Structure 1
Amino acid sequence: MDARSRAAVFVICVSGWMAVTLSSVHSSPPLAQTAPAPVSPAPSPAVRAVIDTYCVTCHNQRLRTAGLALDTLDAATPAASPDVWERVVAKLRAGAMPPPGRPRPEPAVYRSVAGWLEAEIDRAWAASPNPGRINAVHRLNRWEYNNAVRDLFGLDVDVAALLPGDETADGSFDNFADVLTISTAHLERYLSVARQVTRLAVGLPPARPGLDTYSIPLHVVQDDRQSDDLPFGSRGGLAVRHDVPADGEYLIKIRLRRQYQDYIMGMGWPQQLDVRLDGALLKRFTVGGGAKGRPAASSYAGDGEPGFGGDVEWEKYMQADGDAGLEIRTRIAAGPHVVGVTFVRELWEPEGLPQPLQRGRVLTNDQIYMDYASVGSVQISGPFGVATPAQDTPSRRKIFICEPKREADEQACAAKILSNIARLAYRRPAADGDVKTLLAFFADGRREGGSFDAGVQFALERALVDPDFLLRVHRDPPASGNPPGYVVSGFSRTRTAVYPLSDVELASRLSFFLWGSIPDEALLGLAERGQLTRPAVLEQQVRRMLADPRATRALVDGFAAQWLNLRRVEEVVVDPDRYPNYDESLLQAFKQETELFLASTLREDRGVADLLKADYTFVNERLARHYGIPGIYGSRFRRVTLPNSDQRGGLLAEGALLATTSYPDRTSPVLRGKWLLNNIFGLQVPPPPPGVDTTLTDTPAEAATNIRERLARHRKEASCATCHAVIDPLGFALENFDAIGGWRTVDESGSAVDASGTTASGARVEGLAGLRALLLADPDQFPRTVTEKLMAYALGRRIEYYDQPAIRRIVRGAAAGRYRWSSLILGIVKSPAFLMRASTTATN
Structure 2
Amino acid sequence: MLHIRRLLCSSLVLCLGFAGVAGGAEPFEGFLEKHCIHCHGPLLEEGDIRIDRLSRDFKSGADTHHWAEAIDKVNSGEMPPATEAQPTQDEIAAFVANLDARLKEGRAARMAARPAVAHYRLSRKEYQNTVYDLLGVRYDPTKPGELNEDTLWHGYERIGSQLSLSPSHVDRYYRAADLVLDRAFPAAPGEARTVRKTAAELRYGGGKAQQAALDRFGVKRPLRYLLYPGNVQPALAPHWFGRTGPEQSGLYKFRVQASGIRPPGGQTAHLSVGVRTGEETVDGLIEFDVTATEDDPQVYEFEAFLEMPATLHFCVVSTDVVDRRQGAAFRNALGSSSYIFTHSSETALLNPNAPQMFDGDGNGIFSTVILDWMEWEGPLVTEEEASRRQGVVPPEDAAPEAVADYLQRFAERAWRRPVTVDELENYLQSYREERDAGETTAGAYRIALQGVLTSRNFLYLVEGDPTARARLTDAELAARLSYFLWSSMPDDGLFAAARDDALEGEVLEKEVDRMLADGRINRFIDDFSRQWLQLHLVGTFPPDKALYPTYDDWLETSMRAEPVEYFREMFAKNLPVEDFLDSDWTMANARLCDFYGLPAPKTGGFQRVSVKPKDHRGGLLTMGAVLGLTSDGTRHRPVHRGVWVSEAIFNKTPPPPPANVDPIEPIPPQGTKITIRQRIEAHANNASCAACHRNIDPLGLAFDQYDAVGQWRTREQVPTGVGEDPVVDASGVMPDGQTFADSAQFKQLLLEDRDEVARAFIEHLCTYALRRVLTVDDQDGVQAIFEEAKRGQYRVKDVVRAVALSDLMRTR
TM-score of the pair, normalised by structure 1: 0.69
Aligned pair 1:777/2:732, yes or no? Answer: no
* Aligned counterparts of 1:105 and 1:769: Cα–Cα separation in 2: 36
Residue aligning to 2:494: 523
- 2:484 matched to 1:513? yes
Instruction: Identify the residue that residue 160 of structure 2 maps to in structure 1.
Output: 177
The verdict on how the C-alpha distance between 1:612 and 1:808 changes in structure 2, with shifts beyond 3 A counting, is: same
SS in structure 2 of the partner of residue 549 of structure 1? coil
Q: Is it true that 1:357 corresponds to 2:320 in the alignment?
A: yes
**Cα distance between partner residues in 1 of 2:664 and 2:623:** 26
Could you tell me how far apart the structure 2 residues matched to 1:512 and 1:281 are? Answer: 45
Partner residue, 2:739: 764
Residues 462 and 324 of structure 1: CA distance in aligned 2, closer, same or farther (over 3 Å): closer
Q: Which moved more, 1:612-621 or 1:662-671?
A: 612-621
1:399 counterpart = 2:374: no
Conserved in 1, the CA contact under 8 Å of 2:703 and 2:730?
A: yes
- Deviations 1:784-814, CA, capped at 9 Å, x for gaps: 1112122122222212223233323321232
Q: Distance in 2 between matches of 1:743 and 1:95?
A: 39
Q: Distance in 1 between matches of 2:459 and 2:236?
A: 45
Is this contact kept in 2: 1:201–1:395, CA < 8 A?
A: no
CA distance in 2, matches of 1:728, 1:143: 35
Q: Deviations over 1:227-254 (max 9, x none)?
A: xxxxxxxxxxxxxxxxxxx31599xxxx
Quick one: structure 1 residues 738 and 471, their matched pair in 2 at CA, closer, same or farther if it must change by over 3 Å? same
- Of the structure 1 ranges 630-639 and 137-146, higher mean CA displacement relative to structure 2 is found in 630-639
Aligned equivalent of 2:183: 200
- The C-alpha deviation readout for 1:635-674, integer Å capped at 9, x for no partner, is 4211112223882111111111111011211111111011
Q: Structure 2 CA distance, aligned partners of 1:422 and 1:464?
A: 9
- Structure 1 residue 170 displacement after superposition: 4.1
1:417 match: 406
Alignment CA distance shift 1:116-1:691 (3 Å): farther
CA distance in 2, matches of 1:807, 1:505: 21
Cα gap change, 1:325 to 1:185, in 2 (>3 Å) = closer
Q: Is the 8 A contact 1:399 1:421 kept in 2?
A: no
- The amino acid that maps onto 1:573 is P
Q: Determine the structure 2 residue equivalent to 1:87.
A: 69
C-alpha deviation, 1:689, in angstroms: 0.6
Q: 1:421-465 CA distances to partner (integer Å, 9 max, x unpaired)?
A: 111101111211245444444556667896554444343222111
The structure 2 residue matched to 1:552, chosen from 505, 517, 522, is 522
Name the CA distance, whole Å, in 2 between partners of 1:602 and 1:449. Answer: 56
Report if the CA contact (8 A) 1:166-1:180 is conserved: no
Q: Structure 1 residue 662 and structure 2 residue 631: aligned?
A: yes
CA displacement at 1:173 relative to structure 2? 1.9
Question: 2:489 is paired with a residue of what secondary structure?
Answer: coil
Q: Which of 222, 237, 241 is equivalent to 1:329?
A: 241
| Alignment counterpart, residue 125 of structure 2, candidates 143, 151, 155 | 143
Which residue of 128, 135, 138 maps to 1:153?
135
The verdict on how the C-alpha distance between 1:49 and 1:814 changes in structure 2, with shifts beyond 3 A counting, is: farther
Q: CA RMSD in A?
A: 4.6
- Between stretches 823-832 and 445-454, larger displacement belongs to 445-454
Q: Percent identity?
A: 29
CA distance in 2, matches of 1:198, 1:545: 28
Amino acid at match of 2:170: L
Q: What residue is the counterpart of 1:602 in the other structure?
A: 571
Change in CA separation of 1:757 and 1:802 when aligned onto 2, cut-off 3 Å:
same
SS at match of 2:657: coil
CA distance in 2, matches of 1:624, 1:348: 14
8 A Cα contact 2:642 2:698, kept in partner: yes
The 3 A distance-change label for structure 1 pair 402 and 786 is: closer
Comparing 693-702 and 778-787, the one that deviates more = 693-702
Deviation digits for residues 275-328 of structure 1 (CA, Å, limit 9, x no counterpart): x86x887993115999xxxxxxxxxxxxxxxxxxxxxxxxxxx99999997852
Match of 2:290 in 1: none
Match of 1:17 in 2: none
- Are 1:463 and 2:426 an aligned pair? no
1:707 pairs, out of 653, 658, 676, with 676
Q: Structure 2 unaligned runs (5+)?
A: 1-17, 208-229, 270-317, 335-356, 358-365, 719-724
User: Structure 1, unaligned stretches of length 5 or more?
Assistant: 1-40, 206-245, 251-275, 291-317, 385-389, 479-496, 838-844
Give the alignment of 1:723-802 within 5 angstroms.
723-749=692-718, 750-802=725-777
> Is the CA contact 2:19–2:35 (under 8 Å) kept in the aligned structure 1?
no
User: Is 2:190 the partner of 1:247?
Assistant: yes
Is 1:202–1:396's contact at 8 Å kept on the other side of the alignment? no
CA contact 1:498–1:836 (8 Å) conserved in 2: no
* Structure 2 partner of 1:628: 597
**Shift in CA distance, 74/159, structure 1 to aligned 2, threshold 3 Å:** closer
* Deviation (angstroms), 1:782: 0.6
The Cα of 1:122 is off from its aligned counterpart by 5.6
Q: Residues 513 and 322 from structure 1, CA distance in 2 versus in 1: closer, same or farther, beyond 3 angstroms?
A: closer
1:338 equivalenced with 2:281 (yes/no): no
Q: Distance in 2 between matches of 1:95 and 1:653?
A: 32
Secondary structure of the residue aligned to 1:651 is coil
Q: Which moved more, 1:675-684 or 1:83-92?
A: 83-92
TM superposition shift of 1:467? 1.9
AA paired with 2:178? R
CA distance in 2, matches of 1:408, 1:324: 43
Q: How far does the alpha carbon of each residue in 1:387-435 deviate from its partner, in whole angstroms, 9 at most, with x for none? A: xxx9986444222228877x53465654443222111101111211245
d(CA) in 2 for partners of 1:444 and 1:454? 12
Give the Cα–Cα distance (whole angstroms) in 2 for the partners of residues 322 and 830 of structure 1: 52
Q: 1:91 to 1:547 in 2, by over 3 A?
A: same
Q: How does 1:495-514 map to 2 (within 5 A)?
A: 499-514=470-485
Which stretch has the larger CA shift, 467-476 or 725-734?
Answer: 467-476
Look up the match of 2:795: 820
In structure 2, the CA distance between the partners of 1:112 and 1:767, relative to structure 1 (3 Å rule), is farther
- Code of the residue aligned with 1:531 in structure 2: it is A
Name the stretch that deviates more: 677-686 or 342-351: 342-351
Shift of 1:756: 0.8
Deviations 1:77-112 (A, max 9, x none): 9999753332234556889889xxx85799x99999
Change in Cα spacing, 1:128 to 1:63, as seen in structure 2 (3 Å) is closer
Query: After alignment, is 158-167 or 446-455 more displaced?
Result: 446-455
State the shift of 1:619 in Å. Answer: 1.0
Matched letter for residue 468 of structure 1: N
Identify the structure with bigger relative contact order (alpha carbons < 8 Å, sequence gap 6+).
1
Contact 1:658–1:740 under 8 Å retained in 2 = yes
Q: CA deviation at 1:336?
A: 5.4
How far residue 50 of structure 1 moved from its aligned partner, in angstroms, is 11
Displacement of 1:823 in angstroms is 4.2
Contact 2:759 2:786 in 1 (8 A): yes
**1:191 corresponds to which residue?**
174
The 8 Å contact of residues 608 and 820 in structure 1, kept in 2 or not, is answered as yes
- Residue matched to 2:299: none
Q: Is 1:59–2:48 an aligned residue pair?
A: no
1:187 Cα offset (Å): 1.1
Q: Give how far 1:508 is off.
A: 1.8
Q: What secondary structure, in the 3-state scheme, does the structure 2 residue paired with 1:430 have?
A: coil
Distance 2:138 2:173 in 1: 18
Whether the 8 Å CA contact 1:164–1:185 is kept in 2: the answer is no
CA contact (8 A) 1:89 1:117 kept: no
Deviation of 1:364 after TM superposition, in Å, equals 5.1
Cα pair distance change 1:578/1:445, threshold 3 Å: farther
Contact 1:661 1:675 in 2 (8 A): yes
> Which piece of structure 1 moves more, 82-91 or 774-783?
82-91
